[in-house]
């Protein structure tokens, strides 16, 4: 019997939540979670529809993308997920979607500015946009390079300060302490991206939210003296 039953079940449920929250069309999207002790990642199989997906279909790979358990091919984006896990020890789950509004911003190839406290409650500042990939990198190890380009957006910033990114011409990736939290951030990103779209088309000249309000909202929820919620 598989030693990864619980890990597979959590990743299965996080993937189904994506579908339930209407963030995916057909087979778009995939969620993974790492077991750092075992050094393995559980991820959705490639091209399998949510309505037929079963917990036992979840594929287990190691951090070098070798299949450890499972009969199906893992998501074609697996190398992007493992790149993020190898680089950022502070994350435990990764979600990739083509959710409508977040993808529109990615296609427009611009970072999502922080226009309001809805975003500042979860992201410290703008949501970065990874650059359009060079031909050299596309023709190299494409999915690995996608991971590398995401990480380059966080040269001066912790990945926890924006648990979400959009990749120019492509779509968003989000992360969190586990698979469920990365899906949670994917849902928030889509809502934030929709509000930002409406704001910018309503008033194209609108500037970013003032730093004082970003600080106040981000820190009352995420700072060391946070007073939102019911404590830890």
CA distance 178 to 141: 26
Considering the rule CB under 8 A, would residue 1 count as an interface residue with its own copies? no
For its own copies, the closer of residues 2 and 107 by Cβ is 107
Alpha-helix runs per DSSP H in the chain? 5-20, 78-87, 100-108, 117-120, 135-138, 142-152, 179-202, 211-222
Query: Which one of 138, 141, 152, 158 is in contact with its own copies (CB under 8 A)?
Result: 138
Query: Which residue stretch of 4-12, 34-42, 95-103, 157-165 sits at the interface with its own copies (rule: CB under 8 A)?
Result: 95-103
Asked if 121 is an active-site residue, the reply is yes
Query: Which residue stretch of 33-41, 99-107, 148-156, 174-182 sits at the interface with its own copies (rule: CB under 8 A)?
Result: 99-107
Rounded to a whole number of angstroms, the minimum distance from the CB of residue 107 to its own copies is 4
Query: Which residue stretch of 2-10, 12-20, 30-38, 130-138 sits at the interface with its own copies (rule: CB under 8 A)?
Result: 130-138
CB-based burial, 131-164: b 16+ in 10 Å, e otherwise: eebeeeeeeeeebbbbbbbbbebbeeeebbebbb
Sign of the CA dihedral running 90, 96, 101, 104? positive
Q: Which residues contact 63 (CB under 8 A, 6 or more apart)?
A: 39, 40, 41, 82, 85, 86
CA distance 1 to 56: 11
Query: Which one of 45, 93, 128, 176 is in contact with its own copies (CB under 8 A)?
Result: 45
CA distance 114 to 22: 24
Query: Which one of 107, 141, 157, 158 is in contact with its own copies (CB under 8 A)?
Result: 107
CA distance 230 to 10: 24
CA distance 174 to 93: 8
Query: Which one of 133, 164, 179, 180 is in contact with its own copies (CB under 8 A)?
Result: 133
* Beta-bridge partners for 74: 45
Do residues 14 and 179 lie in contact, with contact meaning Cβ atoms separated by under 8 Å?
yes
Give the other-Cβ count within 10 Å of 4's Cβ: 19
Rounded to a whole number of angstroms, the minimum distance from the CB of residue 18 to its own copies is 15
For its own copies, the closer of residues 35 and 116 by Cβ is 116
Query: Which residue stretch of 81-89, 154-162, 172-180, 223-231 sits at the interface with its own copies (rule: CB under 8 A)?
Result: 223-231
Q: Catalytic pick from 19, 57, 121, 142?
A: 121
Considering only residues 9-28, where is the footprint of its own copies by CB under 8 A?
25-26, 28
Asked if 12 is an active-site residue, the reply is no
Interface ranges with its own copies (CB under 8 A):
25-26, 28, 45-48, 72-73, 76, 98, 100-101, 103-110, 115-118, 132-133, 135, 138-139, 142, 169-171, 184, 187-188, 191, 194-203, 206, 209-210, 212-213, 216, 220, 227-231
């Amino acid at each position: 019997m598989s030693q990864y039953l619980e890990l597979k079940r959590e990743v299965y449920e996080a993937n189904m939540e994506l579908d339930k929250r209407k963030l995916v069309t057909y087979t778009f999207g995939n969620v993974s979670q790492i077991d750092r002790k075992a050094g393995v990642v559980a991820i959705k199989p490639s091209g399998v529809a949510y309505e037929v997906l079963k917990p036992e279909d979840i594929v287990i790979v190691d951090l070098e993308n070798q299949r450890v358990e499972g009969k199906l091919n893992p998501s074609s984006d697996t190398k992007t997920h493992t790149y993020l896990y190898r680089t950022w020890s502070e994350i435990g789950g990764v979600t990739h979607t083509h959710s409508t509004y977040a993808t529109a911003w990615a296609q427009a190839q611009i970072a999502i500015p922080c226009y309001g406290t809805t975003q500042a409650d979860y992201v410290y500042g703008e949501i970065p946009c990874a650059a359009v990939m060079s031909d050299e990198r596309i023709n190299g190890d494409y999915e690995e390079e996608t991971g590398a380009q995401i990480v380059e957006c966080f040269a001066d910033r912790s990945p926890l300060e924006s648990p979400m990114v959009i990749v120019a011409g492509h779509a968003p990736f989000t992360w969190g302490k586990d698979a469920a939290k990365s899906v949670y951030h994917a849902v928030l990103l889509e809502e934030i991206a929709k509000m930002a779209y409406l704001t910018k088309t309503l008033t194209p000249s609108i500037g970013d939210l003032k730093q004082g309000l970003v600080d106040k909202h981000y820190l009352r929820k995420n700072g060391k003296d946070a007073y939102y919620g019911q404590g830890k």
